[in-house]
């Protein structure tokens, strides 16, 4: 089959007829075929850069546009959970050079959103990434405040983000002990995951909490960045 799946109606029909087809081109058998993946990557290439003091390096799978945006939106807002391995695969391509002892820290999702969607979209991607990479998932952060960021301006989002997360002390102690002092232990690579970088306030806040707990080697990855290559 060789056609471009553009409209929603056609996708709904395909959903009914075929259990599995490519979101980009309609090819049967895969959710996002090798060719579409390659095409998306060529049009919207991944990039990374150091972003001290928050991130030793921040990995971005692409800009928030085109097929990448559609995939995230369908996954997150239309309960297409089967895109989790596709998105995790894109992240894996960006972060596969990190050492095997790296710990994946999912950015905690607002509980109301988990209930509404029926799944925790970041945790699901983190578990899939763990399968690909062998990196363990370590939920070192919890939600301290259940706020909604969508539609808020940058300043309000930054203020909310500062109070949004807290260290999950139980998980931290299980991994690093009560009073970790070993430099080796605390320099274990940490990879914080979120789906979209808008102002970066949530990711930076998460990094700050983990650095305050003594962790020294923090990386970040997001699937998409809102616009441009500049980071504020
Ligand atoms: Zn395809």
Q: How far is the CA of 87 from the centre of ligand 1 (A)?
A: 14
Which has the minimum average pLDDT: 12-26, 105-119, 146-160? 146-160
Tokens of 60: 């971005």
Work out the mean pLDDT of the chain and round it to a whole number: 87
- Higher-pLDDT residue of 160 and 173 is 173
The CATH fold assigned to 45-225 is Rossmann fold (3.40.50)
Inter-CA distances, 146 with 28, 30, 183, 187, Å: 40, 36, 34, 30
Query: What residues does the ion ligand 1 have nearby, CB within 5 Å?
Result: 22, 24-25, 27, 33, 36
Output the pLDDT for position 169.
Answer: 93
Q: How far is the CA of 115 from the centre of ligand 1 (A)?
A: 31
For residue 144, pLDDT beyond 50 = yes
| Sequence-separated (6 or more) residues with CB below 8 Å from residue 2 | 25, 26, 27
Q: How far is the CA of 22 from the centre of ligand 1 (A)?
A: 5
Q: How far is the CA of 70 from the centre of ligand 1 (A)?
A: 14
pLDDT by residue (tens digit) across 25-74?
Answer: 988 889 999 999 999 999 999 999 999 999 999 999 999 999 999 999 99
For residue 143, pLDDT beyond 70 = yes
| Sequence-separated (6 or more) residues with CB below 8 Å from residue 191 | 95, 98, 102, 103, 104, 105, 135, 219, 220, 221
Give start-end residues of each CATH 3.40.50 domain in the chain.
45-225
For residue 122, pLDDT beyond 90 = yes
Output the pLDDT for position 226.
Answer: 87
Q: How far is the CA of 39 from the centre of ligand 1 (A)?
A: 9
Q: How far is the CA of 130 from the centre of ligand 1 (A)?
A: 25
């Amino acid at each position: 089959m060789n056609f471009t799946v553009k409209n929603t109606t056609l996708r709904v029909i395909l959903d009914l007829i075929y259990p599995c087809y490519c979101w980009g081109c309609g090819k049967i058998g895969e959710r996002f075929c090798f060719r579409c993946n390659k095409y998306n990557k060529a049009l919207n290439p991944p990039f990374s850069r150091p972003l001290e003091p928050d991130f030793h390096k921040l990995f971005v799978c692409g800009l928030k546009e085109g097929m990448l945006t559609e995939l995230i939106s369908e996954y997150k807002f239309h309960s297409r959970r089967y895109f989790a391995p596709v998105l995790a695969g894109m992240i894996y391509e960006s972060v596969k050079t990190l050492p095997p002892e790296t710990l994946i820290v999912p950015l905690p999702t607002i509980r109301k959103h988990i209930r509404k969607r029926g799944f925790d979209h970041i945790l699901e991607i983190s578990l899939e990434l763990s399968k690909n990479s062998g990196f363990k998932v370590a939920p070192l952060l919890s939600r301290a405040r259940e706020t909604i960021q969508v539609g808020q301006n940058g300043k309000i989002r930054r203020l909310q983000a500062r109070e949004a997360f807290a260290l999950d002390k139980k998980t931290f102690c299980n991994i690093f002990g009560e009073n970790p002092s070993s430099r080796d232990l605390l320099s274990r690579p940490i990879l914080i995951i979120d789906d979209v970088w808008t102002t970066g306030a949530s990711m930076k806040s998460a990094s700050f909490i983990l650095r305050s707990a003594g962790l020294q080697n923090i990386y970040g990855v997001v699937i998409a960045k809102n616009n441009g290559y500049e980071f504020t």
